[in-house]
């Protein structure tokens, strides 16, 4: 990754955090409407992290998670990753499918489709907010879903990013449902070349 990415100014970091705030706010609203529960979100963290450190953000490489991954296409390509601890993924499926909490212990085809659709809606809400902020048209790919250890899921994602350098800029937001049943991490990882496009679009060079 270009050195200038590692040296983002405080103003640039603030601009990226604001983008994260608006995008994640949109996504949290979309999720709360779908499951009919209040969803809180933390202030997005913007960090430039070595690729190998990303699994630690979600409880370590051995943590079992459901991951929904989408590529973002357009003028500022990147990746979106929505990670849920296994228990949260099951809880979310129970909520979506009108089942008793605790019913889901493994994911069948319908459950996986539901989680991918959630990923799709969250990504769409995020990118929509990004468009209003930057006027950059960004389109998500069809989502892919995996249930595995965080390290394994992230290594697949990061292999794609790794071709672009050994650090990733990560805009990370934590979602939390009011009853603590659903915890999730939402990551936006712009491709290195996209950063300049995004920052220029918001008027921060």
The model's pLDDT over 167-200, given as tens digits with 9 standing for 90+, comes to 677 788 888 888 877 888 888 888 878 888 988 9
Structure confidence at residue 160 (pLDDT): 66
DSSP reduced 3-state for 7: coil
pLDDT tens sequence across 135-147 = 999 999 999 999 9
- Residue 173, strand partner residues: 186
Residues sharing a CB contact under 8 Å with residue 71, sequence separation 6 or more, in sequence order:
77, 78, 79, 80, 140, 141
Residue 18, token pair as written in the block: 């604001």
Residues sharing a CB contact under 8 Å with residue 50, sequence separation 6 or more, in sequence order:
166, 167
Q: What is the DSSP string of 117-146?
A: HHHHHHHHHHHHHHHHHH---EEE---EEE
Q: Give me the residues of the chain with pLDDT under 70, please.
A: 1-6, 51, 158-167
What the chain holds in terms of domains, given with CATH numbers, is: 3-201 (3.40.1550.10)
Structure confidence at residue 4 (pLDDT): 53
How many C-beta neighbours within 10 Å does residue 94 have? 17
**Alpha-carbon Rg for the chain in angstroms:** 16
Whole-model pTM: value is 0.83
Chain centre distance of CA 153:
13
DSSP reduced 3-state for 46: strand
DSSP reduced 3-state for 109: helix
CA pair distance 161, 62, nearest whole angstrom: 21
CA pair distance 166, 140, nearest whole angstrom: 24
Structure confidence at residue 2 (pLDDT): 46
């Amino acid at each position: 990754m270009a050195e200038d990415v590692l040296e983002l100014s405080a103003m640039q970091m603030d601009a990226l955090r604001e983008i994260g705030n608006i995008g994640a706010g949109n996504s949290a609203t979309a999720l709360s409407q779908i499951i009919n529960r209040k969803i809180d979100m933390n202030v997005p963290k913007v960090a430039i992290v070595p690729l190998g450190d990303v699994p630690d953000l979600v409880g370590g490489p051995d943590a079992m998670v459901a991951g929904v991954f989408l590529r973002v296409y357009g003028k500022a390509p990147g990746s979106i990753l929505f990670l849920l601890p296994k228990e949260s993924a099951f809880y979310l499926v129970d909520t979506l499918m009108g089942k008793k909490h605790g019913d889901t212990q493994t994911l069948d085809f319908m459950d996986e489709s539901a989680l991918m659709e959630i990923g799709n809606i969250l990504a769409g809400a995020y990118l929509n907010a990004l468009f209003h902020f930057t006027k950059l048209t960004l389109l998500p790919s069809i989502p892919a879903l995996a249930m595995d250890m965080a390290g394994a899921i992230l290594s697949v994602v990061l292999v794609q990013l790794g071709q672009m350098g050994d650090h990733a800029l990560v805009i990370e937001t934590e979602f939390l449902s009011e009853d603590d049943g659903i915890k999730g991490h939402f990551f936006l990882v712009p491709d290195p070349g996209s950063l300049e496009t995004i920052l220029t679009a918001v008027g921060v060079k």
